[in-house]
Amino acid sequence: MRDIQHFVNAAAAAGRSGRFGEVFDPNTGEVQARVALASVEDVDLAVQAAAQAQPRWAAVNPQRRARVMFEYKRLVEARLEELANLLSSEHGKVVADSKGDFQRGLEVIEFACGIPHAMKGEYTEGAGPGIDVYSLRQPLGVVAGITPFNFPAMIPMWMFGVAIAVGNTFILKPSEKDPSVPVRLAELFAEAGANLGMDLKGVLNVVHGDKTAVDAILDHPAIQAVSFVGSSDIAQYVYSRGTANGKRVQAMGGAKNHGLILPDADLDQAVKDIVGAAYGSAGERCMALPVAVPVGRKTAEAFREKMIAEIETLRVGVSTDAAAQYGPVVSAAHRDKIAGYIKLGVEEGAELVVDGRDFRLQGFEKGFFIGPTLFDHVKPSMKTYQEEIFGPVLQMVRAETFEEALALPSQHQYGNGVAIFTRNGRAAREFASRVQVGMVGINVPIPVPVAYHSFGGWKRSAFGDANQHGMEGVRFYTKVKTVTARWPEGDVTDAAFHMPTMN
């Protein structure tokens, strides 16, 4: 059986814990590899490597650091096919979605190619008589990222792309469910440096693991900042423990994104968009759209009818099936959890219109598949509405008025993304202004901001006050130093001015 090891100082590291996790192929349901689970000592060794490398890396001028990012982008793109297949084989998403996972991550690397510009400070001439003031952005030192299973390429790149470009060194603790791609990302980063004649040992390190590794990161005194993305309870835990230890922490959590369909929407387009956003990647996206809110009975009836027809055309297949819209979910436990929510939805009194629980793929009966599922007449009081399901389940919550519809995402515990489908600019503007959610799409079902803007939700979807990537990322991974300078007056030919002495 293949062993997936840590990656420290630009080399594979076996780890000393003797503990391993199982890595599955979600298509077949079989274990395909073992991943090393770090001990406190394993984390410490990686932090030592990062700490040793950091001053040297921070001293590399920003345009040379940017050149590493250019080369890195080239290397990842050149291997996209191989990398996307590797990602799909552990995650289960179809290969086209895996390519998107890399593409969106590479956009952050592109942003990082412009880091010299983003790092420029500010300068005030003559803030007082003969006094100038300027501010600098300096890296924090060693920083860490803890990432979820659902975007094993994009989310690590959101974090280390910016963190490393500004001069930090990085410890990545990826999800133990699909750990191979993060290691390949770190190997290619070391290769990018080598191609430019630079030794990047210790700049980007990967330690795999579970709670033990996460706690070791949160408690390590040499780690200055932690970025986390995952489910909300763990995000809150990471935020509390990390900040209690004096670290800077940004911790993104779960989601329950709503899509409002106003009576004047282009319904055919909205249905197509919502099918992709609800069922794509088996619903395992924090920006998926699992709640549809049609406004008015006529809209609801028409939406439901078109949605049922569209679901019938969906093809669920193995992740290498180029014609499939989505593949298996990540694990048997997750499939069972989703099926449990479907059962609960029925018990709570929602109408189960399409039931995906009996879906079986011939030849892959042990794969972690679940068919597209649709509920209607879901009520805000239901647990299945209040919680994140994170599977291919779309819930219709009918609203009578715009105000009623606007209140649903605004009052929900999560506030990651939201979308509105309408032709009415005024309604869309009002909605975008008033809705209590961090990322808003207007006729855009999955409003993930481009890399030079920033990503972040509100309420229980994010703890801490800094978003991911863009200038928010630059600010999160740097500290500001402000210098106030006054130069002595007098004749510059004066010897004492040239070289001050004790006299």
Binding site for ligand NAD (CB under 6 A): 146-151, 173, 175-176, 210-211, 214, 229-231, 234, 252-255, 286, 388, 390, 416, 457, 461
CB-facing half-sphere around the CA of 118: CA atoms within 13 A? 27
Length of the chain equals 503
Decide whether 331 or 424 has the Cβ nearer to ligand NAD. Answer: 331
Smallest separation, CB 58 to ligand NAD (Å): 27
Asked if 286 is an active-site residue, the reply is yes
Smallest separation, CB 17 to ligand NAD (Å): 15
- Least Cα distance to 27 among 389, 363, 337 occurs for 363
- The one-character DSSP state at 316 is B
**Dihedral class, residue 99 (left if φ above 0, else alpha if ψ from -120 to 50, else beta):** alpha
The answer to whether 434 and 79 are in contact (CB under 8 A) is no
Smallest separation, CB 159 to ligand NAD (Å): 11
3-state helix, strand, coil in the chain (%, to 5): 40, 25, 35
Smallest separation, CB 410 to ligand NAD (Å): 18
Q: Which residue is nearest to ligand NAD (CB)?
A: 230
Smallest separation, CB 490 to ligand NAD (Å): 57
Rg, the chain, Cα only? 25
Decide whether 238 or 318 has the Cβ nearer to ligand NAD. Answer: 238
Decide whether 40 or 352 has the Cβ nearer to ligand NAD. Answer: 40
The answer to whether 396 and 304 are in contact (CB under 8 A) is yes
Per the residue annotation, which of 84, 286, 330, 382 is the catalytic one? Answer: 286
Smallest separation, CB 148 to ligand NAD (Å): 3
Decide whether 258 or 304 has the Cβ nearer to ligand NAD. Answer: 258
Decide whether 68 or 213 has the Cβ nearer to ligand NAD. Answer: 213
What is the rounded CA–CA span in Å between residue 74 and residue 76?
6
The answer to whether 76 and 83 are in contact (CB under 8 A) is yes
- Least Cα distance to 341 among 276, 392, 417 occurs for 392
Decide whether 169 or 416 has the Cβ nearer to ligand NAD. Answer: 416
DSSP H helical segments within 200-354, as ranges?
Answer: 211-219, 232-244, 267-279, 297-312, 332-348
Which residue's entry shows tokens 């921070």? 58
User: Residues with Cβ < 8 Å from 340, sequence gap 6 or more?
Assistant: none
| Catalytic annotation, residues | 286
